[in-house]
Amino acid sequence: MRTMIRLAVAAGAAAAFAASIGAALGESTADEIAKYREALQDGNPAELWEARGEQMWKVPRGPNKVSFERCDLGLGPGVVKGAYAQLPRYFPDAKRVMDLETRLVWCMVQQQGMSEADALKNTFGNGSAKRSDLEALAAYVASQSQGIRMNVALDEPHVHDMYRLGEKMFYYRGGTHDFACATCHGDDGKRIRLQDLPNLTKVEGAQKAYTTWPAYRVSQGELRTFQWRLNDCFRQQRFPELAFGSDASIALTAYLAGRANGAAYAGPAIKR
Amino acid sequence: MADPMKIRANLVGDSTEVKVLMSHEMETGQRKDAQGKTIPAWFIQKVNVTHNDKVVLAAQWGPAVSKNPFVSFTFKGGARGDKVKITWVDNHDDSRTDEATVA
Amino acid sequence: MRTRIVGHCIGGIAAIGIAASIVYGCASAPAENDVSERAEAMMKSSFKAHGQATLARLDQDETQRVCSEYAGRALPPAVAERIEKANLETIRYPADGNLVGDWKSGEKIAQSGQGFQYSDDPKKAAGANCYACHQLSPKELSYGTIGPSLYRFGKTRGYTDETRRYAWQKIYNAEAFAACSNMPRFGYHHILTEQQIRDVVALLVDPASPVNQ
């Protein structure tokens, strides 16, 4: 019996990656990183989160025993196909612009009867001891927009306003290190250490970055949502903590998602 | 109870290509938590794959394999509708078996 | 000094914290200033203090405010000059006049990104994380490119008093030379201690430092 085996071994791949950098300096460094990324593409554990989220979507939940099939993400109750590509959007029932995660929490509280504290218990998971329902649900919903073009309704006045506020936030310098989002994401071809930085001030940069979240982070062994991405950027910016689902988090998401308009959604992706 | 595996089995020419994602922590036993306490080892040790009840792959794994491992392999033969069954057993003697149909 | 336009309207929004539902009542306010004010108020209600990272971190000084306002666009020369002059005046020098410390310690500081994040231990010394943005010692291959390469900083500029003084000033407050620079103001914000700045200066200007080989 002829059997060929290939294992995606993150630890081993990382070691090989480091060694290959040692061997290949300068311009070829980028090529080596590209090879490493390619090696990760084939088996994306994000699918494990998508599967868990899909199962959760259909099961009656909370004190009211209501499933997410009643949850309207903007395209009608229970409709997930293409929903992520149009978020954030304005929801008249909540009188608020919401991103995916905020809307999921809203459905848990308003429809399923969960307390807000319960709905927000594990916003960001950490291993099997602290699993996040929200991350799994977000992975599933986002996966249902694969190949669909981003189309955030920037002509809707509430969304447009959040977009403009998000733009201001993007350039807002503060803290002990004078950092703004633009400090690291305002120029082409830059990197921190060896990590490439998308230039989010350009449409192509915003498109490439936004359409790949949520993403499975190999270095954490976790699937992360865009709320997590923003939260952790601000931590590194030396800012206080961005509250989950806060207006500022939605404004910045609206700005970046809006700038990604026109690009096909390509997540949940896999990242280092 | 461990999460289900995600299995794809596709006929490519005269071979069957199998791709499997497993949900597992794969703790090495080498890491320490924030309090400095060693996190106990917890990883898959055995993987067994059968095609119509015949073993086509048997593997012994160690702690070097990543969290949420991905395995891809091909075996000669197979036909659409055949069953491919995968079992893993970890060092806690926990195990999980899932099955897929060759497409 | 902040320009307050239609203070009544802005105050109302800040108090409520959710801008979207009220903004149209303020449509007559001059657009850009209004958006800046509301963005700031929104941030203050959306961030929460976490450990050492208190909400005071969101309060901007004049340099941060002006640089934010220009949002990546080129600064008018007069504005840039004003920022640089004001920042130059903030630079303090060691009482003993000694600007150069130990490059080996400087290398460690340049490697470390610890410090001032809410996830960091505030009792541990902060690093400068120079390698995140700059090439320095050629032995370190994992360097960023947001800032220019500093390889052979001292060797190219000459091992002079002027070079040493410039290195000190630049680390202390980079905005004194490049208004709205991306580089943190390590002395001005007390990110590094006086001795740490000396050590990083040494990494740049000591002829024995790997940076100058």
Q: Per the domain annotation, does B64 fall within a domain?
A: yes
| Domains of chain A: residue spans and CATH | 10-41 (no CATH), 46-271 (1.10.760.10)
List all chains that touch chain A, counting a touch as 3 or more CB pairs closer than 8 Å: B, C
Q: A29-43, A197-211, B24-38, C103-117: lowest mean pLDDT where? A: A29-43
A263 C-beta neighbours (distance < 10 Å), count: 17
- C145–A189 C-beta distance less than 8 A: yes
The C-alpha atoms of residue A33 and residue A38 are separated, in whole angstroms, by 9
Q: Least CA distance to B61: which residue of chain A?
A: A7
Q: Per the domain annotation, does B53 fall within a domain?
A: yes
Measured between beta carbons, the chain B residues lying within 8 angstroms of A216 are 68
What's the confidence (pLDDT) of residue A38?
73
Cβ-nearest to A161 among C20, C46, C132: C20
What's the confidence (pLDDT) of residue A28?
65
- B3–A48 C-beta distance less than 8 A: yes
Cβ-nearest to B6 among A10, A42, A47: A47
Tokens 């390889």 belong to residue: C151
Selection from A120, A210, A106 nearest residue A166 by Cα: A210
Residues 6+ apart with CB under 8 A from B1: none
Q: Per the domain annotation, does B95 fall within a domain?
A: yes
- A8–B59 C-beta distance less than 8 A: no
Shortest Cα–Cα distance, B41 to chain A (Å): 14
| CATH 1.10.760.10 location in chain C | 103-212
Task: Tell me the average pLDDT across B86-97.
Answer: 96
Which amino acids of A are annotated catalytic?
Answer: 233
The C-alpha atoms of residue A39 and residue C150 are separated, in whole angstroms, by 34
- C146–A187 C-beta distance less than 8 A: yes
Residues of A with CB under 8 A from a CB of B: 1-13, 42-45, 47-48, 51-52, 127-128, 216, 218, 221
Q: Which range of residues forms the domain containing residue B56?
A: 6-27+39-101
Question: Does the model's ipTM exceed the 0.90 cut?
Answer: no
Tens-place pLDDT, residues C40-84: 999 999 999 999 999 999 999 999 999 999 988 999 999 999 999
Q: How far apart are the first and last CA of chain C?
A: 47
- With bands split at pLDDT 50, 70 and 90, how would you rate the model's confidence at B1? low
Q: Per the domain annotation, does B77 fall within a domain?
A: yes
Q: Per the domain annotation, does B1 fall within a domain?
A: no
Low pLDDT (below 70) residues in chain A: 1-30, 40-41
Q: Per the domain annotation, does B79 fall within a domain?
A: yes
Q: Does C23 touch chain A (CB under 8 A)?
A: yes
Give the CATH number of domain C103-212; options: 2.60.40.10, 2.40.50.140, 3.40.50.720, 1.10.760.10: 1.10.760.10
The number of folded domains in chain B is 1
Q: Per the domain annotation, does B33 fall within a domain?
A: no
Task: Tell me the average pLDDT across C2-9.
Answer: 36
Give the tokens for residue A62: 């909370």
How long a stretch of residues is chain C? 213
Q: Per the domain annotation, does B69 fall within a domain?
A: yes
